Structure 1
């Protein structure tokens, strides 16, 4: 079980460490863009006790990919769907490689 605080969470890609303003700044987007990708179902930020959105590094990578597609002219909803499919494909390829390694062992 991971501790809920301390240095381990700094290495945790899923730890919601970034506020909306900081997250938007890090990926070169606006808070409105982060809200839009949230509404499109791409990412679901956690909420602080005060109700503020908090983002993880993993969520920021996903949002940054969507931003790249939007910058190329893809509508936000389509960009979000593409990123979801890319993420699912990456996971399927990872699982497939893992199963092949287990077969070969």
Structure 2
């Protein structure tokens, strides 16, 4: 698996669940139910500090693991995305090896 961080566009359902991802000019569609969890951010290593009494989302990141196919066809690929709820920004943080070979 490749680890990095790169901006991606994500189209979501009304409930906020990802449906499609645009990465490097290509559209990937979900092929399975996505999995969501939260991870602790390394706030102690960052220059930006949380303001006093700030609420949820300051310490944890929303992470999604998606099983996708390029344009709804082709081999199944795994992408992990981080979603910053306050800004709506999505970052690709991990990619399965098969997806990396196809984008090279």
Q: TM-score, normalised by structure 1?
A: 0.28
Q: Which structure would you say has the larger Rg?
A: 1
Q: TM-score, normalised by structure 2?
A: 0.29
**Structure with the higher strand share, 1 or 2:** 2
